[in-house]
Amino acid sequence: MTNFVKIFDTTLRDGEQAPGFSMSSGQKLAMAEALEGLRVDVIEAGFAAASPGDFEGIRAIAEMVKDVTVCSLARCNDGDIRASGEAIKPAKHGRIHTFIATSPLHREFKLKMDKDEIVRRAVAGVELARQYTDDVEFSCEDAIRTERDYMKRVCEAVIRAGATTINMPDTVGYTTPEEIEDLFRFLTTEVDGADGVTWSAHCHDDLGLAVANSLAAIRGGARQVECALNGIGERAGNCALEEVVMALRTRKDFFGMDTNIRTEGLYGASKLLAAITGNAVPRNKAIVGKNAFAHESGIHQHGVLANRETYEIMKPEHVGVSTDNLVLGKHSGRAALRNRAEKLGFTLSDNQLQSVFVSFKELADAKKEVFDSDIEALVLGEAVGQAGPWEIESLYVSAGSDENRIPKATVSLRHEDGRTQQHVSEMLGPMNAVFDAISQITDTPMELEHYSVNSVSGGEDAMAEATVRVATEFESYQGRGASTDTVLASALAWLDVINRIERRAVRTGSIAAQH
């Protein structure tokens, strides 16, 4: 059995379909480019039959990506599989991932099918998928709660039909490490044809065990792990890509496994995803959180100063966290900026470099020194800036301590369709006035749940990063904005949410695939 584990990334499918994590087509392309830079083995780019937007998004990624397999999810029915086959056609390496539920609960209450019918559907689905590609993955949805003898029967049938990867999803995050390790030992030794396919694990984090379960599955014989950056996904999320990859790297002495992942790009890809979705990475998040390599305790600081290995099992640079802070200024050129961005884990295309360089020059004129954190904010701002359709044309706020004067905000927004609208709001707080004016122009009523502003770097001319969490009638959204002007950063964060809502509104007819 090989000692290599494939990394199957589902950030753009299972991750993106989770509430509050939607992305525009441009943002999905940016993330796909980052994932290719990480050298993941498979990108599950979406669910082609879900909507025309999903279909086009997968197709665009299939046309762009060259070194990674591009995959589309499909239920075991003709329409889904044919849509997936057409969507991945441009891919240099394409995969169809088809699934059907197998557990007693799903058979009785969701599918209303008997065991024989499910086997027939599974086989027919794999056979049809093979007409489009030789790379076909099959999943037993809710595998963990499926009887083993029946699971064995299904797996053997789809292997005979031509499936090349067999995935066992812990769809509801129910299993334990001991149980899933034993399951994969059973599958890899008892299923006829087991040695001719790749066995895969897809673990959800409902009980906080997704990474532990995925690692246990590897111990049991799984050689593909399905995961997502920052652990995003349905409900409590998926196995976190960065965590399972660094566990395998850091404890190679125990697992004895390798992956293709360029781990130095993990931090940058994580930050990019957080900026695109508006969902910040928690400070205490393993591997990529701000506190992952921070030491406040005096005892810890003393040990780290003597030898970093006393309290660090990984080096920050292994995941792309910069350990120095080279200062750039207004005389720095494109080459220096590109080099610094790459050290921070970001790979910029020529067009992206030009856009970030313009912003960098403007910032360098406004600041004496530009630090790594400033550059990071500019790159992430470029990613968020692709979102549209609204952008700020002008913003003016007046406020003061005079009791007779109510803070007033005058805001002008421009829409991508060419129209420009202005509104003046007076509220009891200056930021309330700004937020209200933007909402009035865009006709998007929202309730502010959380608002924070942080300094990105040090000094009186530091950039500000604002984050907001707001609630609409249906769900919560998060937004982000960055600027040397705190008020503008806050307005950008509020507008970021509105742009997310507008993008979501055009994605009608989506099919929620809980898998």
Report helix, strand or coil for 4: strand
CA distance 249 to 336: 31
- Stretch 375-404: mean pLDDT, rounded? 77
Tokens 């937004």 correspond to 479
H or E stretch covering 169: strand 165-170
Q: How many CB atoms lie within 10 A of CB 390?
A: 20
Q: What is the pLDDT of residues 217-253, one digit of tens each?
A: 999 999 999 999 999 999 999 999 999 999 999 999 9
Q: Does the annotation place 284 within a ligand binding site?
A: no
Average pLDDT rounded to a whole number, residues 468-491: 85
26, HSE (Cβ side, Cα atoms, 13 Å): 12
Give the CA dihedral 189, 191, 196, 198, nearest 10 degrees.
Answer: -80
Topology of domain 387-505, per CATH?
Double Stranded RNA Binding Domain (3.30.160)
Q: Sorting pLDDT into bands at 50, 70 and 90, what band is 307?
A: low
Measured distance CA(390)–CA(378) in Å, rounded: 19
97 known member of a binding site: no
- Per-residue pLDDT for 286 more than 60? yes
* Integer Cα distance of 88 and 62 in angstroms: 6
Whole-number Å distance between alpha carbons of 287 and 246: 8
Q: Any known ligand binding at 253? A: no
User: To 10 degrees, the CA torsion angle through 495, 496, 502, 508?
Assistant: -160
Q: Is the pLDDT of residue 413 over 50?
A: yes
What pLDDT digit, counting tens, does each position of 15-72 carry? 998 887 888 788 899 999 999 999 999 999 999 999 998 999 999 999 999 999 999 9
Q: Is 115 exposed, middle or buried (0-12, 13-18, 19+ CB in 10 A)?
A: middle
H or E element that contains 353: helix 350-366
Quote the Cα angle for 190-195-199, to 5°.
85
Question: Higher pLDDT residue, 390 or 100?
Answer: 100
Number of H helices, E strands in the chain: 17, 14
287 Cβ contact list (under 8 Å, min separation 6): 240, 242, 243, 246, 266, 270, 314, 319
Give the C-alpha separation, 198 to 222, whole Å.
7
pLDDT at 169 over 80: yes
DSSP 240: B
Nearest CA among 244, 183, 331 for reference residue 5: 244
CATH class of 6-277: alpha beta
The whole-angstrom separation of Cα 134 and Cα 164 is: 8
Element at 105 (helix H, strand E):
helix 104-105
Q: Which helix (H) or strand (E) holds 352?
A: helix 350-366
* pLDDT of 450 above 50: yes
Do 10 and 226 meet the contact criterion of CB atoms below 8 Å apart? yes
Q: What is the mean pLDDT of the chain?
A: 88
- DSSP state for residue 209 in the 8-state scheme: -
**Range 139-158 average pLDDT:** 97
3-state secondary structure 316-348: HHHHCCCCCCCCECCCCCHHHHHHHHHHCCCCC
* Alpha carbon distance, N-terminus to C-terminus of the chain: 27
pLDDT of residue 480: 83
Q: Band of the pLDDT at 325, cuts 50, 70, 90?
A: low
Can you tell me the distance from the alpha carbon of 290 to that of 465, in angstroms, rounded to the nearest whole number?
A: 15
Q: Which residues contact 198 (CB under 8 A, 6 or more apart)?
A: 6, 164, 165, 166, 223, 224
Kindly report, residue by residue over 257-269, the tens digit of the pLDDT.
Answer: 999 999 999 999 9
pLDDT of residue 174: 97
How far apart CA 194 and CA 351 sit, in angstroms, is 47
Local confidence band at 330 (pLDDT 50, 70, 90 cut-offs) = confident
Q: What percent of the chain has pLDDT over 90?
A: 60
pLDDT band at 308 (very low <50, low <70, confident <90, very high): low
Residue 93 annotated as binding?
no
